[in-house]
Amino acid sequence: MKIKTQSFLLLAGIIIIPIVLLSSYWLMFHQRQKLGSDVPTYEEIFQEKQNLTSAEDWERIRSFISRRPPNMEITVFDKATMEVLYSTMEQFAQGQKLDNRNLLQYSMDNSDRYFFQMTTPPHLKESTLVTLIRSEKRARPLRSRTEYYVNTVTIISVVILLFCIVIITMITRSIAKSVTVLEDAAKRVTRGELDKPIEVRGSNEVISLTKSLNELRLAVKENRDKQARFIMGISHDLKTPLALIRGYVEALYDEIPASPEERRQYAQIILRKADDLEALINDLIDFIKVDTGEWRTTWENVNLADFVKEIAKRGAEATTILKHNFESEVNLPNDAVVQMDEKLMNRCFENLFSNAIRYSKEGSTVVLRAFRDSGCYKIQIEDDGIGIDKDELKNIFDLFYRGTASRREKGSGLGLAIVKSIINSHNWGIGVESEAGKGTVFTITIPA
């Protein structure tokens, strides 16, 4: 049960329990009042005997009868004539003439079962009416209205207290148990134990916190694995050119190349490898800046149609120089405006065009399409090159990942990782469709 629900139940109980108990008391009291609702009125009894008592005094007697407890029975008679005026006892009927000896004998015969009290109401000073009260000995003693109020309040307080103790205990145990498990889980995450899932049973709000902590655990684990892959990738890509540079430097140091021409050739190789190292380091710096947000993007409102036409112009220039064909289909509204960092986006499309050209044969065609679809703007870059195997598609945006075909080409494996980071930094989406030997299509989706 959710903590919010338990708290609501606690509040509802505090409000409802007194209402229920007070309603029960009122019904009980009201039921007692109904016991005297059949008492005849003054006119019905004293129409011809008005000298016995006044209408006001009889109403007081009726009020007393109506408030009597269920175990009390009353007979009202005139002490002068001994005539029964009203009775709740089946032994004495209205209009019956009583006898003192019979009353005494009846009281003695039933003294083991009943209490008897015969009295003249103290507030009826000039009346000749007498009330005979009979109550069962086994019944609980009569209580005053004050006692009923005190007992009712006491019962309500005890019930509310017990109810609150039960609910608060449930809430406390639920929270304490969940917090203990979460504390142990947080310690495991701090120690780097990230493989074991965090499990907390129940349905309260702590479960949401558990899910968030599990997501954090997985994110930390992914970042740790990503960092390990990053270091391994750097080590691998830096070792190769460094090993070649070291080998050629040692050859020059040992004066292995005899002629000036050979020494110049060795030096040129060293310079190319140094350039490769510099390009790799620059790519790494760019990726880290984009991936960590250190390269703070400056978003501006940019006309998307004009932007796409500009990158189409650059794409056409690049493909023409490298003897490829280029086609563009731009079908965007002239008033289409999106927020972007133009510098980052130009870098993104340069990488995509570079890949399309690099993995396509000379004379092949690169196509740029831009259009609106299902409430989004889409930009596609398509080539008819070597394509990508289906098994490799899911990994092409990973850091340092290079597919089977791309290993034959020069590159660091950072290009598409940088593209993915730039797209994600703009809250856009990127997808890829490809088939080995039939080309590749990259699709960038921009919310309209």
Residue 309 and residue 286 share a domain = no
Q: Is the predicted pLDDT of residue 104 greater than 90, yes or no?
A: no
pLDDT band of 379, cuts 50, 70, 90 = very high
Specify the CATH number for the domain of residue 83: 3.30.450
Q: Is 319 part of any domain?
A: yes
Q: Is 198 part of any domain?
A: no
Residue 243 and residue 371 share a domain = no
Residue 331 and residue 438 share a domain = yes
Highest mean pLDDT pick, 42-46, 175-179, 295-299, 309-313: 309-313
Q: Is the predicted pLDDT of residue 37 greater than 70, yes or no?
A: no
Encode pLDDT of 91-102 as tens digits: 888 888 888 888
Residue 308 and residue 280 share a domain = no
List the domain range (segments joined by +) for residue 245. 205-292
Q: Is 437 part of any domain?
A: yes
Residue 372 and residue 256 share a domain = no
Residue 328 and residue 214 share a domain = no
- To the nearest whole number, what is the mean pLDDT of the chain? 78
Tell me what the mean pLDDT of segment 191-196 comes to.
Answer: 73
Q: Is 153 part of any domain?
A: no
Cα–Cα distances (Å) from 228 to 20, 169, 217, 279, 283, in that order, read 66, 47, 16, 22, 18
Calculate what percentage of the chain has a pLDDT beyond 90: 12
Are 74 and 131 in contact, with CB atoms under 8 Å apart?
Answer: yes
Quickly list DSSP for 327-387.
EEEEE--TT-EEEE-HHHHHHHHHHHHHHHHHTS-TT-EEEEEEEEETTEEEEEEEE-SS-
Question: What is the distance between the alpha carbons of residues 441 and 445, in angstroms, rounded to a whole number?
Answer: 13
Q: Is 30 part of any domain?
A: no
Quickly list DSSP for 178-224.
HHHHHHHHHHHHHHT--SSPP---SSSHHHHHHHHHHHHHHHHHHHH
Q: What is the pLDDT of residue 406?
A: 46
Residue 315 and residue 234 share a domain = no
Residue 427 and residue 307 share a domain = yes
Given 270, 292, 314, the domain boundary residue is: 292
Given 116, 142, 168, the domain boundary residue is: 142
Given 246, 272, 292, the domain boundary residue is: 292
Question: What is the distance between the alpha carbons of residues 353 and 328, in angstroms, rounded to a whole number?
Answer: 13
Q: Report how many domains make up the chain.
A: 3
Residue 127 and residue 84 share a domain = yes
Residue 426 and residue 325 share a domain = yes
Write the DSSP symbol of residue 83.
B
Q: Is 15 part of any domain?
A: no
Encode pLDDT of 259-275 as tens digits: 888 888 888 888 888 88
Residue 345 and residue 223 share a domain = no
Q: Is the predicted pLDDT of residue 110 greater than 60, yes or no?
A: yes
Q: Is 421 part of any domain?
A: yes
Residue 265 and residue 318 share a domain = no
Encode pLDDT of 66-75 as tens digits: 777 777 888 8
Q: What is the pLDDT of residue 430?
A: 93
Encode pLDDT of 390-411 as tens digits: 888 888 887 666 654 544 444 4
φ/ψ of 326, rounded to 5, equals -140, 135
Q: Is 189 part of any domain?
A: no
Closest C-alpha among 253, 444, 216 to residue 352: 444
Calculate what percentage of the chain has a pLDDT beyond 70: 76
Specify the CATH number for the domain of residue 229: 1.10.287.130
* Residues pairing with 432 in the sheet: 442
